[in-house]
Protein backbone atom coordinates (compact mmCIF):
# COMPACT_ATOMS: atom_id res chain seq x y z
CA UNK A 1 0.00 0.00 0.00
CA UNK A 2 2.44 2.70 1.18
CA UNK A 3 5.47 0.48 1.63
CA UNK A 4 8.52 2.19 0.19
CA UNK A 5 6.73 5.53 -0.28
CA UNK A 6 8.39 8.70 1.00
CA UNK A 7 6.42 10.68 3.60
CA UNK A 8 7.28 14.16 4.80
CA UNK A 9 5.53 15.01 8.06
CA UNK A 10 6.08 18.59 9.22
CA UNK A 11 6.11 19.36 12.93
CA UNK A 12 6.77 15.70 13.69
CA UNK A 13 9.24 15.76 16.56
CA UNK A 14 6.41 15.47 19.10
CA UNK A 15 2.65 15.17 19.53
CA UNK A 16 0.31 14.62 16.59
CA UNK A 17 3.02 14.80 13.94
CA UNK A 18 5.15 12.20 15.68
CA UNK A 19 2.14 9.88 16.04
CA UNK A 20 1.35 10.17 12.33
CA UNK A 21 4.98 9.68 11.29
CA UNK A 22 5.23 6.57 13.45
CA UNK A 23 2.01 5.10 12.02
CA UNK A 24 3.21 5.65 8.45
CA UNK A 25 6.61 4.13 9.26
CA UNK A 26 4.87 1.12 10.81
CA UNK A 27 3.23 0.48 7.41
CA UNK A 28 6.57 0.61 5.61
CA UNK A 29 6.80 4.23 4.51
CA UNK A 30 10.16 5.95 4.63
CA UNK A 31 9.70 9.05 6.76
CA UNK A 32 11.21 12.51 6.90
CA UNK A 33 10.79 14.13 10.30
CA UNK A 34 10.80 17.90 10.66
CA UNK A 35 10.48 20.23 13.61
CA UNK A 36 12.21 21.90 16.51
CA UNK A 37 13.60 20.46 19.73
CA UNK A 38 16.70 19.13 21.39
CA UNK A 39 19.03 17.70 18.73
CA UNK A 40 19.97 14.66 20.80
CA UNK A 41 16.33 13.83 21.55
CA UNK A 42 15.36 14.22 17.89
CA UNK A 43 18.18 11.86 16.88
CA UNK A 44 17.00 9.36 19.49
CA UNK A 45 13.45 9.52 18.10
CA UNK A 46 14.72 9.16 14.53
CA UNK A 47 16.96 6.18 15.26
CA UNK A 48 14.31 4.46 17.38
CA UNK A 49 11.63 4.80 14.68
CA UNK A 50 14.02 3.53 12.04
CA UNK A 51 15.01 0.52 14.15
CA UNK A 52 11.49 -0.42 15.24
CA UNK A 53 9.97 -0.29 11.78
CA UNK A 54 12.89 -1.22 9.53
CA UNK A 55 12.45 1.82 7.29
CA UNK A 56 14.59 4.82 6.46
CA UNK A 57 13.90 7.76 8.77
CA UNK A 58 15.54 11.13 8.14
CA UNK A 59 15.37 14.46 9.89
CA UNK A 60 15.33 17.76 8.02
CA UNK A 61 15.49 21.09 9.78
CA UNK A 62 13.62 23.99 8.21
CA UNK A 63 11.99 27.14 9.52
CA UNK A 64 8.64 26.75 7.79
CA UNK A 65 7.68 30.34 8.54
CA UNK A 66 10.10 31.29 5.75
CA UNK A 67 8.91 30.53 2.22
CA UNK A 68 12.46 30.00 0.95
CA UNK A 69 13.11 27.34 3.58
CA UNK A 70 9.91 25.46 2.69
CA UNK A 71 10.95 25.52 -0.96
CA UNK A 72 14.48 24.39 -0.09
CA UNK A 73 13.21 21.53 2.09
CA UNK A 74 11.02 20.14 -0.67
CA UNK A 75 13.66 20.60 -3.35
CA UNK A 76 16.28 18.77 -1.26
CA UNK A 77 13.97 15.80 -0.79
CA UNK A 78 12.95 15.73 -4.46
CA UNK A 79 16.62 15.85 -5.49
CA UNK A 80 17.43 12.96 -3.15
CA UNK A 81 14.36 10.78 -3.63
CA UNK A 82 12.72 11.83 -6.90
CA UNK A 83 9.47 13.01 -5.32
CA UNK A 84 7.55 13.26 -2.09
CA UNK A 85 4.75 10.67 -2.15
CA UNK A 86 2.97 11.63 1.07
CA UNK A 87 2.90 15.16 2.46
CA UNK A 88 1.45 15.73 5.92
CA UNK A 89 1.18 19.44 6.73
CA UNK A 90 1.04 19.37 10.50
CA UNK A 91 3.34 22.09 11.87
CA UNK A 92 1.55 24.77 13.81
CA UNK A 93 1.58 27.22 16.70
CA UNK A 94 -1.06 28.94 18.79
CA UNK A 95 -1.56 32.31 20.44
CA UNK A 96 -4.54 33.28 22.58
CA UNK A 97 -5.78 36.86 22.94
CA UNK A 98 -8.89 38.95 22.19
CA UNK A 99 -9.03 40.35 18.66
CA UNK A 100 -8.55 43.97 19.72
CA UNK A 101 -5.37 43.16 21.66
CA UNK A 102 -4.05 40.36 19.44
CA UNK A 103 -0.38 41.19 18.68
CA UNK A 104 0.15 41.78 14.97
CA UNK A 105 3.40 39.82 14.97
CA UNK A 106 1.68 36.79 16.53
CA UNK A 107 -1.07 36.96 13.87
CA UNK A 108 1.59 36.98 11.15
CA UNK A 109 3.48 34.07 12.74
CA UNK A 110 0.40 31.87 13.18
CA UNK A 111 -0.77 32.48 9.61
CA UNK A 112 2.74 31.91 8.25
CA UNK A 113 3.25 28.52 9.91
CA UNK A 114 -0.28 27.15 10.14
CA UNK A 115 -1.49 28.18 6.68
CA UNK A 116 1.13 29.62 4.34
CA UNK A 117 3.68 26.87 5.02
CA UNK A 118 1.11 24.22 4.06
CA UNK A 119 0.34 26.09 0.84
CA UNK A 120 4.00 26.40 -0.12
CA UNK A 121 4.83 22.77 0.71
CA UNK A 122 1.84 21.61 -1.32
CA UNK A 123 2.71 23.93 -4.21
CA UNK A 124 6.25 22.55 -4.34
CA UNK A 125 5.46 18.86 -3.81
CA UNK A 126 2.47 18.61 -6.15
CA UNK A 127 4.34 18.57 -9.49
CA UNK A 128 6.20 15.37 -8.54
CA UNK A 129 2.98 13.73 -7.40
CA UNK A 130 1.27 14.66 -10.66
CA UNK A 131 4.19 13.28 -12.65
CA UNK A 132 3.92 9.93 -10.86
CA UNK A 133 0.10 10.12 -10.82
CA UNK A 134 0.09 9.18 -7.15
CA UNK A 135 0.21 11.25 -4.03
CA UNK A 136 -1.43 11.88 -0.70
CA UNK A 137 -1.66 15.33 0.86
CA UNK A 138 -3.03 15.37 4.39
CA UNK A 139 -3.52 18.71 6.11
CA UNK A 140 -3.87 18.66 9.88
CA UNK A 141 -6.54 21.25 10.52
CA UNK A 142 -8.54 21.18 13.76
CA UNK A 143 -12.11 21.31 14.91
CA UNK A 144 -11.28 25.00 14.77
CA UNK A 145 -11.21 24.64 11.02
CA UNK A 146 -14.95 23.90 11.32
CA UNK A 147 -16.12 25.90 14.35
CA UNK A 148 -14.77 28.83 16.36
CA UNK A 149 -13.82 29.63 19.93
CA UNK A 150 -13.03 32.94 21.54
CA UNK A 151 -9.56 34.52 21.65
CA UNK A 152 -8.08 32.31 18.92
CA UNK A 153 -8.60 34.54 15.89
CA UNK A 154 -5.37 33.75 14.05
CA UNK A 155 -5.49 30.01 14.71
CA UNK A 156 -9.12 29.72 13.64
CA UNK A 157 -8.60 31.86 10.55
CA UNK A 158 -5.62 29.70 9.59
CA UNK A 159 -7.42 26.41 10.20
CA UNK A 160 -10.51 27.52 8.27
CA UNK A 161 -8.08 28.48 5.53
CA UNK A 162 -6.50 25.01 5.63
CA UNK A 163 -9.92 23.42 5.09
CA UNK A 164 -10.52 25.71 2.12
CA UNK A 165 -7.08 25.00 0.69
CA UNK A 166 -7.75 21.28 1.06
CA UNK A 167 -10.95 21.52 -0.96
CA UNK A 168 -9.30 23.55 -3.72
CA UNK A 169 -6.36 21.16 -4.10
CA UNK A 170 -8.76 18.19 -4.07
CA UNK A 171 -10.77 19.71 -6.92
CA UNK A 172 -7.67 20.55 -8.94
CA UNK A 173 -6.39 16.96 -8.60
CA UNK A 174 -9.77 15.22 -8.83
CA UNK A 175 -8.96 13.37 -12.06
CA UNK A 176 -5.52 12.25 -10.94
CA UNK A 177 -4.09 9.71 -8.54
CA UNK A 178 -3.41 12.49 -6.04
CA UNK A 179 -5.80 13.08 -3.14
CA UNK A 180 -5.95 15.90 -0.62
CA UNK A 181 -7.84 15.74 2.66
CA UNK A 182 -7.86 17.39 6.07
CA UNK A 183 -8.02 15.85 9.53
CA UNK A 184 -9.72 17.95 12.20
CA UNK A 185 -8.77 16.78 15.70
CA UNK A 186 -10.49 17.88 18.86
CA UNK A 187 -8.56 17.95 22.13
CA UNK A 188 -5.43 15.80 21.85
CA UNK A 189 -3.25 15.15 24.88
CA UNK A 190 -0.03 16.60 23.49
CA UNK A 191 2.74 18.16 25.61
CA UNK A 192 1.29 21.59 24.77
CA UNK A 193 -2.19 20.63 26.00
CA UNK A 194 -0.70 19.01 29.11
CA UNK A 195 0.87 22.36 29.97
CA UNK A 196 -2.56 24.00 29.67
CA UNK A 197 -4.03 21.38 31.98
CA UNK A 198 -1.25 21.80 34.54
CA UNK A 199 -1.71 25.59 34.48
CA UNK A 200 -5.47 25.23 34.87
CA UNK A 201 -5.03 22.88 37.83
CA UNK A 202 -2.61 25.26 39.53
CA UNK A 203 -4.79 28.32 38.93
CA UNK A 204 -7.97 26.62 40.20
CA UNK A 205 -6.33 24.70 43.04
CA UNK A 206 -7.60 21.36 41.73
CA UNK A 207 -5.95 18.09 40.77
CA UNK A 208 -4.55 17.48 37.29
CA UNK A 209 -7.21 14.80 36.70
CA UNK A 210 -9.97 17.24 37.70
CA UNK A 211 -8.48 19.84 35.36
CA UNK A 212 -8.53 17.32 32.50
CA UNK A 213 -12.21 16.59 33.05
CA UNK A 214 -13.02 20.30 33.27
CA UNK A 215 -11.21 21.01 30.01
CA UNK A 216 -12.87 18.16 28.13
CA UNK A 217 -16.33 18.87 29.53
CA UNK A 218 -16.39 22.30 27.93
CA UNK A 219 -16.20 20.98 24.36
CA UNK A 220 -15.64 17.23 23.93
CA UNK A 221 -18.69 15.10 24.85
CA UNK A 222 -16.76 11.81 25.03
CA UNK A 223 -14.66 13.35 27.82
CA UNK A 224 -11.73 11.44 26.40
CA UNK A 225 -8.75 12.82 24.54
CA UNK A 226 -8.05 11.91 20.94
CA UNK A 227 -4.64 10.25 20.76
CA UNK A 228 -1.82 10.85 18.27
CA UNK A 229 -1.94 7.12 17.54
CA UNK A 230 -5.61 7.30 16.52
CA UNK A 231 -4.85 10.23 14.25
CA UNK A 232 -1.96 8.25 12.80
CA UNK A 233 -4.25 5.36 11.90
CA UNK A 234 -6.67 7.77 10.20
CA UNK A 235 -3.78 9.18 8.18
CA UNK A 236 -2.78 5.65 7.16
CA UNK A 237 -6.33 5.03 5.94
CA UNK A 238 -6.34 8.26 3.92
CA UNK A 239 -3.13 7.07 2.24
CA UNK A 240 -4.66 3.70 1.32
CA UNK A 241 -6.25 2.56 -1.93
CA UNK A 242 -9.53 2.25 -0.04
CA UNK A 243 -9.50 6.05 0.38
CA UNK A 244 -8.77 6.86 -3.26
CA UNK A 245 -12.20 8.50 -3.62
CA UNK A 246 -12.02 10.34 -0.32
CA UNK A 247 -11.23 13.78 -1.70
CA UNK A 248 -11.51 17.21 -0.15
CA UNK A 249 -12.99 16.09 3.16
CA UNK A 250 -12.46 17.73 6.55
CA UNK A 251 -12.59 14.62 8.73
CA UNK A 252 -13.35 15.39 12.37
CA UNK A 253 -11.93 13.14 15.06
CA UNK A 254 -13.18 15.09 18.03
CA UNK A 255 -15.11 12.98 20.53
CA UNK A 256 -18.37 14.52 19.34
CA UNK A 257 -17.30 18.19 19.59
CA UNK A 258 -18.72 19.24 16.21
CA UNK A 259 -21.79 16.99 16.53
CA UNK A 260 -23.26 19.45 19.05
Residues belonging to the active site: 155
Report the C-alpha gap between 183 and 249 in whole angstroms. Answer: 8
Closest CA to 197 of 206, 111, 258, 17: 206
Amino acid sequence: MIEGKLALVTGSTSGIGLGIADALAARGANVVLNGFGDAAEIERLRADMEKRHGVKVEFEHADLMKTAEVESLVSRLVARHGAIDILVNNAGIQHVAPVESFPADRWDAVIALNLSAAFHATRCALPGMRERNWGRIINIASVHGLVASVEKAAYIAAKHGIVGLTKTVALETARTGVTCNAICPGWVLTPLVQKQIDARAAAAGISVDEAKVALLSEKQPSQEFVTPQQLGELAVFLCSDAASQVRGVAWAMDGGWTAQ
